[in-house]
Amino acid sequence: MIEDELARWRAADAIFDGLLDLPAPEREAALAAMALEPAVVAHVRRLLQAHGRDDGPLDPAGPDARLEGRRIGRWVLEDEIGRGGMSVVYRARTDEGGETRVAAIKLLTIGALVAGGADRFRREQAILARLQHPHIASLVDCGVAEDGTPWLAMPLVEGEPIDAWCDSRGLGAAARVGLMLDVCDAVAYAHRNLVIHRDIKPSNVLVDREGYVRLLDFGIGGLLERRQAGMTLTRMLAWTPQYAAPEQFQLAPASTAMDVYGLGALLYRLLAGRPPREGRPDGEPLVLPSRACREADGAAPAQREAMARALRGDLDAIVLKALADDPDDRYRSPDALARDLKAWLHDRPVRARGAGNLYRLQCFLRRNRAVALVTAALALVLGSMLGATLWQAAQAERAAQRSAAARDLLASLVVPEDPGAAALASRDALAVAADRVRAEHAEPGQRAALLHLLGELQWRSGDAAGARAQLLEAQALGREARLPADDRRASLALLGRIELEAGRGREAAEWLSRAQAEGRPAQAEALGLVTQRCVALSLQGDAAATDDCIAEARRWLQGAPDPLAGDTLRALSMAELLLGRPRDALGHVDAAEARARAAGEAPGSRARTLADALRLLARAGLGESDAVAATALSHRLPALAAGEDQALAWLALAAQAGLRGDAAAQAAALAPFDAGFPDGPPAPLARLRERVLAPHTPP
């Protein structure tokens, strides 16, 4: 009996020690979530009540009593900026060598020292000392004050918790996922350095005014050693229940799977508007994020519905996989979670959904908007059937037949179930399909639509010559069948793109001009055609014609939404770089960056990462080296889609390495660039590669 009571007090003491890591208002909820024996809960509450009588400002001689102006090491403390159950954080400043630096100084409280928190604090110092990553608030300085109080200094992150930052700006799903990629990258880096975090939650992920993410507070983190004999009950319990993995409640040894769950819980909060466990009884299945989003408070109904549509399907599946109760059912690593998030951003199949043919076909159509638009355009039914003339009915029937034929053709080209394989058949299969189209479809309009579709697929498979042949035939048949201008324009535009990639700038510009003259393209399509023509003319070296084209693009930019304007300005900067005008390119990049910020794009987003790459290329052209920006780009590069996006970033890194005279780093950057294009890169990228390798000559 006495032994049982002693065991209860020992358990209560350890749990009490862990609860001290939490702010006082959160301790009761954390205790309730542990499902402990009632006698143990009662003992813990007595300890908390006793502690609460001394948990205001601590002893005046202690470290957290009016410390403004006190010197800690080489730092002078200013105002208090944060307080937890075990520590207090101050803004601090140091002046050395005429340079002023600011930092956040974290000091242990007297209560923490008494409760054995000094060991945990020293562990945090050791962990931060080994972590140097752009998205981790790493160690700047550390030491022990004259009164024996341990302290550490970290970069001062003047930001908001990631959930508040996203909500206050009304960010969409893509921007929130972009920020999560930075968090995943930071956690993956920690794991590679044998460190786990164990308390991933919004308040430990801050975003500054520039949209830059920092992961904080490795105070309860641990080192992934072969044995964890030193893992105490206190350390096991020092986490936040709403974001903790189920095995943490069972006091399981720390593992990377806990952090994967924490990332999933954070992602759930960002997308659904509340933590996954909020209001969820034990054992009840998680509510889908898309459903929880509709029920969330705060946002306008239209905004909630738009977010729910974005979450439905892929993001729901990704979040649920990360939050699986069984660690073996979760993603194996933060990198694996990030790969699925990137796949969603780029409309590619996600592993959480499986690899069915129909699902992969849907992803392909989302990713390849032009193909989807062709198919959709062919499916239009002209007017109300009640008032339709016989001619309209015949046209509608032919359009429906073309649409059905296009769907059948696409479905026949989807290969079986290997999720890592390409979603479409080989070049040989596409050639066979083209022969079948000519044999089975005599009606010119239907044949034109299918040949255009096959031409696009051949182009995407790398068969530019085969694609060109199909598109030329489709273009001629489209005129004969009097297909809508949108369909004829699609074939002309793709012919221009093929010539551009082949380096035939003059021919590309001609096809693109014809495409723009076909019908009345909408602003977005017109801007795409004009900017491609600018790049084609610059590739040809025709500066005067390029300037005229850029002026035309600027006219089309009037009133363009920020994301579209940003895409256009980045393309114009590419044209300037091809002409050897880096200063003008830099002006376009700065304008694109301003548009991206206005659109709420986070620094890790595709738009801003591409802008960073173009800026580094332009600065290299001006002879300006920026090692810090190059390092940041190298960490963000995985957020870009493989292919031309990543290739541009590799070129930027190679250009900066060459400017520094670092031949090894330049070769290392060019290797993945070259590997990405076994048959050679598109002509604009090939031309930029030549400029990167050429000796620098000031403009």
List the catalytic residues.
199
Tokens 């604090």 locate to 121
Whether 126 contacts 34, CB under 8 Å: no
Q: 3-state class of 92 per DSSP?
A: strand
632 in helix, strand or coil? helix
**What is the amino acid identity at position 523?**
Q
Residue closest to 536 by CA, chosen among 482, 564, 497, 569: 497
594: amino acid identity, one letter:
A
Cα–Cα distance for residue pair 624/578, rounded to 1 Å = 18
Residues 216, 204 contacting (CB under 8 angstroms): yes
Report the first-to-last Cα separation within the chain, whole angstroms.
87
Alpha carbon of residue 654 to chain centroid? 23
**Long-range CB contact pairs, 605-609, < 8 A, 24+:** 605/174, 605/175, 605/178, 605/639, 606/178, 606/345, 606/639, 606/640, 606/641, 606/645, 607/563, 607/566, 607/567, 607/570, 608/211, 609/633, 609/636, 609/637, 609/639, 609/640, 609/649
The label of the residue with tokens 């304007």 reads 565
Residue that has been written with the tokens 């974290």 in this structure: 106
Burial track 369-405 (b if 16+ CB lie within 10 A, e otherwise):
eebeebbebbeeeeeeeeeeeeeeeebbeebeebbeb
- The b-or-e profile of 251-265 (16+ CB within 10 A means b, else e) is eeebbbbbbbbbbbb
In sequence order, which residues have a C-beta less than 8 Å from that of residue 438 and are 6 or more positions away? 447
Supply the angle between the helices 256-272 and 334-345 in degrees, to the nearest 10: 30
Determine the longest span between alpha carbons in the chain, in angstroms: 97
Q: How far is CA 164 from CA 132, 169, 197, 307, 566, in A?
A: 26, 9, 21, 16, 26
Q: At what angle do helices 562-578 and 683-693 cross, to 10 degrees?
A: 60
CA distances from 227 to 14, 255, 553 (A): 21, 12, 63
Structure tokens given for 173: 């799903």
DSSP one-letter code for 234: H
